[in-house]
Amino acid sequence: MLVATYYSNSDIRLEERPRPQLGEDETLLKIHASGICGSDLMEWYRRDKVPLVLGHEVAGEIVEVGNAVNNVSVGDRIVASHHVPCLECRYCQRGNETMCRTLKTTDFDPGGFSQYVRLPEINTRLGLYNIPDGLSYEEASFAEPLACVLRGQRRANLRKGDVVAVIGSGMSGVLHIALAKATDAEMIIASDINENKLVWAEKFGADIVTQDSSEIAEILEEKTGRKADIVILTTGHPEAVLAGFSAAEDGGTILLFAPSDPETTVPIDISRHFFKRDITVTTTYAGSPDDHREALQLIAEKRVPVKEMITHRIGLEEIQSGFDLVKNGIDSLKVIVEPNRNGHQ
């Protein structure tokens, strides 16, 4: 089978490997759609782990099952989680499934930028979700990123009638905008220094857009009489984080959705923002099984119109150009890799 092996953002090599052999409690997934995530381009996060096969936003077809597998069958259309919680530990029982120590050790063999992946026992048992009838593989591949967004907005307690500011309008920001719109936010303002991204922000639900995140507070006070109840940061740049604190209403919540580069620090006036203004800051990581199921339902119901977010569909042979598109961030919103499009075995 063909795989795309990652060495750096500018060095992704196509290689031939044998299909993985299955244990009796494992499954083999033929990948039909695998989204390129912004986190796939975080070189600092994986520079000590290369070479490796990335790709975790996957949808495909079960083509082989081990003798002990009874929850899925050959031919089933599936979304698979690469990280799976045990559902039994202290973290899982407290609703913190994404902090489960088991979750942090689970993964595909190899990653989703390959024609086939072996799904280990725990992924097969706890991390498979049937794709609803009528939903395409490419739409279903959005389940993982939307699950992350769902979990984040739940942690931020985003509710109907909220004024929402989204700082950073790339793919994650657009999903946050679309979900906030589906939740009936009163007003959504989006910012990004790249004006091309603001076009997507408007298309998927932003009422107001600006290239200058420092203007958000003033714009909202003029339009609504208050600042943002919920501020969602899909960038970890220090200036954006500070703008987020300025954009938040007293008693509001700031969701740090994106990581910052290592050793990044932001000076925060604790007395001003926390004691006097009662600002809540929360973070989020990954998505739980329930988040994945809810994400698939939202996509199937067209409440989050993910199909319209796809700007490029490429074969595995074109994956370097796909990474270049995502890194450039001007001409693309979502790039979907179709590893089996050209009939390789």
CATH architecture of 2-142+304-338: Alpha-Beta Complex (3.90)
What residues have CB less than 8 Å from 222, skipping those under 6 apart? none
pLDDT by residue, tens only, the chain of 345 residues: 999 999 999 999 999 999 999 999 999 999 999 999 988 888 877 778 889 999 999 999 999 999 999 999 999 999 999 999 999 999 999 999 999 999 999 999 999 999 999 999 999 999 999 999 999 999 999 999 999 999 999 999 999 999 999 999 999 999 999 999 999 999 999 999 999 999 999 999 999 999 999 999 999 999 999 999 999 999 999 999 999 999 999 999 999 999 888 888 888 888 888 888 999 999 999 999 999 999 999 999 999 999 999 999 999 999 999 999 999 888 899 999 999 987 554
Report the C-alpha gap between 294 and 132 in whole angstroms. Answer: 12
**46: helix, coil or strand?**
helix
pLDDT tens sequence across 75-122:
999 999 999 999 999 999 999 999 999 999 999 999 999 999 999 999
C-alpha closest to that of 34 among 82, 74, 76, 75: 82
Asked if 161 and 184 count as a contact pair (C-beta separation under 8 A), the reply is: yes
Residues forming CATH 3.90.180.10 domain(s) in the chain: 2-142+304-338
pLDDT tens sequence across 164-188:
999 999 999 999 999 999 999 999 9
Report the C-alpha gap between 134 and 300 in whole angstroms. Answer: 8
For residue 259, whether the previous peptide bond is cis, meaning omega lies within 30 degrees of 0, is no
Distances (CA, A) of 94 to 27, 88, 98, 99, 149: 30, 10, 11, 10, 20
Hey, what CATH class is 148-283 in? alpha beta
C-alpha closest to that of 37 among 129, 127, 172, 149: 172
β-pairing, 163-167 vs 187-191, is parallel
pTM: 0.96
Asked if 259 and 46 count as a contact pair (C-beta separation under 8 A), the reply is: no
Residues forming CATH 3.40.50.720 domain(s) in the chain: 148-283
